[in-house]
Chains A and B, each alone.
Chain A
Amino acid sequence: MPFSNQEYLHLLPFIIIGVGIVFSVVIELITKKSREILPWFSILLFFSTALYSIYTIHNKYILFNGMIQVGGKAAIFNFIFNFAALLITMSSIGYLKKYGSNFGEYYILIQSAVLGMMVMAGSKDILMIFLGLELMSICFYVLAGLNRKKHSANEASLKYFLLGAFATGFVVYGIALIYGVTATTKIDILIQNFSAQSSNIIFVTGLILFIIGFSFKIAAFPFHMWVPDVYQGSATTVTGIMSTAGKAAAFSVLIITLTAVYTVNSPNIFSPYFAAIATLSMLFGSIVALTQDNLKRMLAYSSISHAGYMAIGLTASNSYSISGIIFYLAAYTFMNIGAFSIISIIEGENDSRTNIQNITGLNASKPMLAAFMSLFMFALAGIPPLAGFFGKYYVFIGAIKSGFTWLAIIGVFSSVISVYFYLRVVVFMYFKNPTEDINTDTSTFSYSAVIISGAMVLLLGLMPDLLLNLILSVVNW
C-alpha cells in the first residue's frame, strides 16, 4: 500500500468524527437511552475535533495522493464547523423535546453533516468537493423535514431538496466540462494550468456552471428563492446550523477553488459576476427584511444580505479580503447561532411565538435574554466594537485595496438600511409593554449556548487581531 501510517495520523480530525458516527449508530441501536447519551457524545466529539484542528493549524499536509488537506485554512474552517455544531447540539437538547421530535438520529445526522463540511473545506480534488457537498446536503434535507407531521417542515424539506438537487445537476455538469478540457480533477493541477486554459470557452462555461451551483448554496440573490421558506419551516436549531456552518462550507469551496486561481496572477475573470451578486444580495436582503415580522424569516433575508457582504470579498480576491471573509464567517457563525438559540428558547409548541410581537417587553421578564438578543442584533447590524463590525470592516478594506471602492460604499449603505430592522427587535424588547406572558423553557444548556456565543462575539469584537492574524498567517495555503 502506498499510504503510510503517518498519513492516517494526520487525518485524525476526520477519523474522530467518522468513528464517532459509527459509534453513535451503535449506541442508538443498543440502548433506549440514546437520546440522553448522544448529545453528550456529540459535544465531546465536536469539542475534541475543534480543539485538535486549531491546535494543529500549522501542520500543513496534503494527504492520500492529493485528495485532502489538513491544517491551514481547512483547520480554521474545521474549527468553525465543529464549534457551530457544538453550540447547536447544546441548544437542541431542550428544544427538540418541545419541537416534538426528540430523536437520537438527529445527532447522528448533525455529525454526518459536519463530516461533509470538513470534507468540503479540506478537499484538494473536485470529486471530494462533490461528495462532501452531497453528504452535507442530504443530511440537511432530512433535518429540515425532521418532524414529518408538521406541514411547514414537509414543505421546507421538499423545497430545499428539489432546489438543492437541481443545483447539484449544474455542479456536476460544470465539473464534467472542466474535466473534459483539463483531463484532471485535481485542484492544484487545474490552478497551474488556469492561465493557459482561461481563454478556453468550454472551461470557462464549466466554471460558471460550477459557481452557479454554489451560488444556490451560499444563498446569494438570484438563487435565493428557497432560503426564506426553508429557514422558516425547519426546526430553529437546524436553521441555525444550516445558515452558519452550511454557508461557511459553501464559501470554503469557493475560496479554495477560486482564490488559489488569483494567486497565480491571472486576470480575475469572475469579478463582475461576484460584484453583481454581491450588490443584488446586499440590497435585496436588507430591503425585504424591513417588511418581515417573523423573526426566522427576517434572519433568512438578513442571511441573504450577509452572503452579499461576503461575496464582496470574493470580488476583491486579494489575500486580505479572503482573510476578511473567513473572519466574517466565524463572526457570523457566533452571532447567528446566538440569535437562533434565543429564538429556540422563546419559541412555543407548534412553531408558535416566532414573531417579533411575541418578544414584546422581553426585558421585563427575561432581562438576560433581552440583553443577549440585543448584543447579537447589534453585532449583526455591524455596530462597533462587536464581531460583525470587524467582519464587514476587513472585507470592505480588502475591496478598497483592489479598487472596488464603489462596492464598499454600497455595502456601507446596505448596512445602514439593515440597522433599522435589527434595531426594531431591540425596540420591541425594551420600549414596549409586554402583551403576553413569555414562559420560556428553562433548559440550562440552551442558555449556556447563548452565553458562549455572546462571549465569542465580544471576544472577536474586542480582540479581532487574535483571529485575523492567525487567518492571515495561513490564508495562502
Chain B
Amino acid sequence: MNIELILFIILATIAAVTSILVITRSNAVISAVFLVLNFFALAGLYLLLNAQFISVVQIIVYAGAIMVLFLFVIMLLRTDGEPRIFSDKRYIKYFALLISIFVFIQVSYLLLIGSPSKSVTGNQSASINSGTIETIGKELYTNYIIPFEVAGFLLLAATIGAIILAKKKFE
C-alpha cells in the first residue's frame, strides 16, 4: 500500500461523506460549511493529481470567495431551517433517491467497462509539467486568448446583472 493510495482514500472519504452531509443537513449554514470542507478535500485530490495551480485556485476562488458569498447571503436572509427532508412529498423523494442510486450504479458500471485507463497514457513527467502555473499561463495567454476575452465579458455581464438585481434604484 503506497502513500498515494492512502492519501486518496482519506481525501475521497472526506469528499464523499461531506457531499452527502451537504444534502442531508436541514440547516443551510451547516450545509455550506460541509461544502467548504468538500472543496478542501478536492483541492487535496488535485494536488495528488499534480495539478498545483488548479488546487490553489480551488482554495482561493471556490472555498475562499464563492463559499464566503454563499455564507454571507445565508446569514443575511436568515431563513428558517427546512423541515426534515422526508417529512413531505415522501414518495416522490424516495423515488428520486431510488433513481439516483440506480443511475450511480449504472454510471459506475459504464466507467468500469469503458476502461478509461486504456485511453490515458499516465506519463509522469508530462503530467507534472501540464499542471504548473507556467504551462497553464502560457496556454491561457496564447492559444486560449479568445476564451479568456469571452470570460472577461462574462464577468462584466454578471457584475452588471448583479447590480441591476440588487441595487438599481427605481424612479
Contacts and interface: CB of A to CB of B under 8 A. Distances in A.
A adjacent to B, CB under 8 Å: yes
Interface of A: 1-3, 18, 21, 25, 63-65, 67-68, 100-101, 103, 105, 108-109, 112-113, 115-116, 119, 125, 127-128, 131-132, 134-135, 138-139, 141-142, 145-146, 148-149, 157, 180-183, 200-202, 205
Contacts of B163: 105
Given A64-B143, A142-B157, 17 more contacts: A18-B149, A64-B146, A67-B144, A67-B147, A103-B164, A108-B160, A112-B153, A128-B146, A134-B154, A141-B161, A142-B161, A145-B165, A157-B165, A180-B116, A183-B120, A202-B110, A205-B114
Interface of B: 107, 110-111, 113-114, 116, 119-120, 142-147, 149-151, 153-154, 156-158, 160-166, 168, 170
A148 B163 CA distance: 11
Contacts of B162: 142
A112 B145 contact: no
B168 A103 contact: yes
Nearest to B141: A1
A138 B157 contact: yes
Nearest to B115: A202
B164 A146 contact: yes
Given A2-B142, A139-B157, A139-B161, A200 B114 contact: yes
A142 B162 CA distance: 8
B108 to A, nearest CB: 12
Given A18-B153, A135-B153, A149-B170, A105 B146 contact: no
B150 A132 contact: yes
10 contacts: A101-B170, A109-B164, A112-B157, A115-B150, A115-B153, A125-B147, A138-B154, A148-B166, A201-B114, A202-B111
Contact of A21 (B114, B153, B161, B164): B153
B114 A202 contact: yes
Contacts of B113: 201
The interface residues of chain B, by DSSP majority, are classed as helix
Given A101-B170, A131-B147, A180-B119, A109 B161 contact: yes
A105 B153 contact: no
A30 B5 CA distance: 59
Contact of B110 (A65, A112, A201): A201
A183 B144 CA distance: 16
B144 A127 contact: yes
A3 B166 CA distance: 41
Contacts of A115: 150, 153
Contacts of A200: 114, 119
A35 B151 CA distance: 26
B150 A181 contact: no
B2 to A, nearest CB: 24
Interface centre among B120, B143, B156, B160 (most CB of A within 10 A): B160
Nearest to A197: B119
Nearest to A148: B165
Contacts of A112: 153, 156-157, 160
A131 B150 contact: yes
Nearest to A108: B160
B146 A138 contact: no
A201 B107 CA distance: 10
A1 B114 CA distance: 41
Contacts of B120: 180, 183
B147 A128 contact: yes
Contacts of B153: 18, 21, 112, 115-116, 135
A202 B109 CA distance: 10
A127 B148 CA distance: 10
A65 B113 CA distance: 35
A142 B165 contact: yes
Nearest to A182: B119
B145 A64 contact: yes
Contacts of A25: 156, 160
Given A145-B165, A180-B119, A202-B116, A127 B147 contact: yes
B139 to A, nearest CB: 10
Nearest to B160: A105
B122 to A, nearest CB: 12
Contacts of A116: 150, 153-154
B105 to A, nearest CB: 14
Nearest to B161: A142
Contacts of A105: 160, 163-164, 168
A142 B164 contact: yes
Contact of B160 (A109, A149, A205): A109
Contacts of B165: 142, 145, 148, 157
B89 to A, nearest CB: 16
A458 B160 CA distance: 38
